[in-house]
Amino acid sequence: MMQDVDIMWFRNPFERMSVAAHMVTSSDFYFGDPYSPVNAPNTGFLYVRSSARMVGVFEAWQAARLSFPGKHEQQVFNEIKFELVDKRGLRVQFLDTVHNAGFCNNTRDFNTLYTMHANCCVGLAAKLHDLGNLMKEWRAYMGMDDAQRQRGPVRWKVPGICIH
């Protein structure tokens, strides 16, 4: 399990992960099929099952960096993900942004949220500001009774530097 430090956990994301996947990654953009490499990965949240297959995947991923100079590891993975699925039999689960959201998308329902990634946001101060506001909203949500939470989506209202 590897994750960026700008990811806030609200619930246990392992509950949303499939035991059938070799690798689980969050998504910047999710298109409905958790196993489709069409989804846009965000490797800032990455879980990998230990296996010889995964050692080969990481070796191929590392080697591919030479073919994509100037790109960081997530961009390289995005370039080679189809090949990894087709040629190495990699089974990647892309987490649905309804449950594992980021600032890149507009998932704003605390009833369904497991994690929030401060992606699509530049600068530590901006990330801390928006995550701090989000935590205040989460505390207010946790102060609600079950009836209030079950009335429908519970959305945060605080605009931020990166959250609009």
Three-state SS annotation for 102-122: ECCCCCCECCCCCEEECCCCC
The percentage of the chain sitting over the pLDDT mark of 70, rounded to a whole number, equals 98
Q: Note whether residue 50 is domain-resident.
A: yes
- Amino acid 126: pLDDT: 94
Q: Average pLDDT, stretch 143-153? A: 89
Q: Note whether residue 110 is domain-resident.
A: no
Confidence bin at 156 (pLDDT 50/70/90): confident
Given a cut of 90, whether residue 69 has pLDDT beyond it is: yes
Q: Note whether residue 69 is domain-resident.
A: yes
Q: Note whether residue 85 is domain-resident.
A: yes
Domains in the chain: how many in total?
1
Enclosing domain of residue 50 = 2-94
Given a cut of 70, whether residue 26 has pLDDT beyond it is: yes
Looking at the DSSP assignment, which residues form a beta bridge with residue 7? 117
- Amino acid 150: pLDDT: 87
Confidence bin at 11 (pLDDT 50/70/90): very high
- Amino acid 158: pLDDT: 67
Q: Note whether residue 34 is domain-resident.
A: yes
Q: Note whether residue 21 is domain-resident.
A: yes
Buried b (16+ CB within 10 A) or exposed e, 30-57: beeebeebebbbbbbbbbbeeeebeeeb
Q: Which residue has the higher pLDDT, 158 or 148?
A: 148
Q: Note whether residue 45 is domain-resident.
A: yes
